[in-house]
Amino acid sequence: MEKVNIGRTELTVNPLGLGTNKIGGYNLFPNLDDEMGKQVVQTAIDHDVEMIDTAFMYGFGHSEELIGDVLKNNDREKVILATKGAQQIAADRSVTLNNNPEFLTQAVDESLKRLQTDYLDIYYIHFPDQNTPKAEAVGALQRLREAGKIRAIGISNFSLEQIKEADADGYVDLVENQYNLLQQDAMHEVVPYLKERGITFVPYEPFAAALLTGRYSPDNLPHFDEGDHRLSIDLYQPDQLKRNVEKVEKLKPIASRYGVSTAQLVLAWYMKNPLIGPVIPGARTTEQLLANVASVSIALRDEDYQAIDHIFASANL
C-alpha cells in the first residue's frame, strides 16, 4: 500500500485505518461487545491497519480503555494512534465543550493513561467551543508536541473560518470532518483550502452511517433499534432515505464487475481520491474489519472512479 502523508509532519500511514466508535461507544450504539471490540483492534493491527482512531466521547473513555488493553500486548510503533477530546463531564453527567488550554492539557494526560501509552501520534480537538480562541487552543497542543506527548495536531468538526483561525500559526496537521459520497459539503471550500495549506483531510462516516454499505434496497429500507444515533441523521429522514438508497443501488453493478461488495467499492473510491487522506471506516466485528481490509487490493479503473463520482454529483452541488 502506498503510504499517506500526515500534514506537515514526517509521519506516514497506510491509507485504510479503523474508526472505533463501535468499540466501547456504548453511548452511541446499542448491544456492543467489549471482547469483540478488542478482537477487532487486534485483527486490525495484525493486518497492517496502522491508524486506530478513537475519542474520549466514544463511551466517555471506554473505547480508549479497550484499545489500551490491546496496545499493551503489541508493538506500539506499529500503530498510528489518534484520539480526540473537548468534552467536559459535569457531576450531573451533562456534557459541555471546553477548548481551554488547561483543560486540553489535562484531557491529553487522561487519554494517555487510558490508552496505556506515553505518546499519542495524533490528538484532535474534537469540537470547537464557543469561547476559546482557536489558535490559543491549538497552541496548547503545540506545547504538548514540544513535550513529546503528541506527534501531530488535529482539529475536528471545525468550519472553514474556524480552521483558518486555528491554523494561524501553522501548527495544524489534520482536519477530521464529515465527508462521504452522500454528504460532500466538505469538498466545496474546506478541502481545497486544506490541500493548499498541506493539511491532511480525514473523512469520518465514510459509509454514511451504513447507507453506503449496500445492505439496503428500495424494497428493504433500514430499521434501527431505539437508542441508535442514526435515527437522528438527516440522510435517514423520509424525504431523503429512498433517494439515497436508489443512488447506492447504482453502485452494485460496478461492484459486481470487480467481484467485491458495495462497501469495498466505496472504500476503494475514497482511497483513489487524491484529496482524501487516510480513511477510517468503523467495524463492529472482525468479519467487517477483514472485509474493509480487502478493499485495499481493489485496482479501481479511472472510468469507474468517474462513473461513481457522477452518480453522487448532486451531493456536491
Q: How confident is the model at residue 240 (pLDDT cuts 50, 70, 90)?
A: confident
Q: How far is Cα of residue 182 from the mean position of the Cα atoms in its chain?
A: 16
**Does the pLDDT at position 317 exceed 70?**
no
Q: Which residues contact 304 (CB under 8 A, 6 or more apart)?
A: 254, 257
pTM of structure:
0.94
Return the domain boundaries, the chain.
Answer: 4-316
CA angle 195, 198, 204 (to 5 degrees): 65
Q: Give the per-residue pLDDT at 231.
A: 72
CA angle 312, 306, 311 (to 5 degrees): 20
Q: So what CATH class is 4-316?
A: alpha beta
Asked whether the CA dihedral 301, 304, 281, 6 is positive or negative, the reply is: positive
Instruction: Write down the mean pLDDT value for the chain.
Output: 95
**Does the pLDDT at position 129 exceed 90?**
yes
pLDDT tens-digit profile of 282-314?
999 999 999 999 999 999 999 999 999 999 986
CA atoms within 13 A on the CB side of 29: 18
* Residue 258 buriedness (CB in 10 A; 0-12 / 13-18 / 19+): middle
Q: Give the per-residue pLDDT at 221.
A: 84
Catalytic residue check, 305: no
In the chain, the percentage of residues whose pLDDT exceeds 90 is 88
Cell of 289: 474489519
Q: Give the per-residue pLDDT at 315.
A: 56
Query: Active site residue: 26, 58, 193, 270, which one?
Result: 58
CA distance 184 to 24: 28
pLDDT tens-digit profile of 167-223?
999 999 999 999 999 999 999 999 999 999 999 999 999 999 889 999 999 888 877
Lowest mean pLDDT of 29-43, 54-68, 215-229, name the range: 215-229
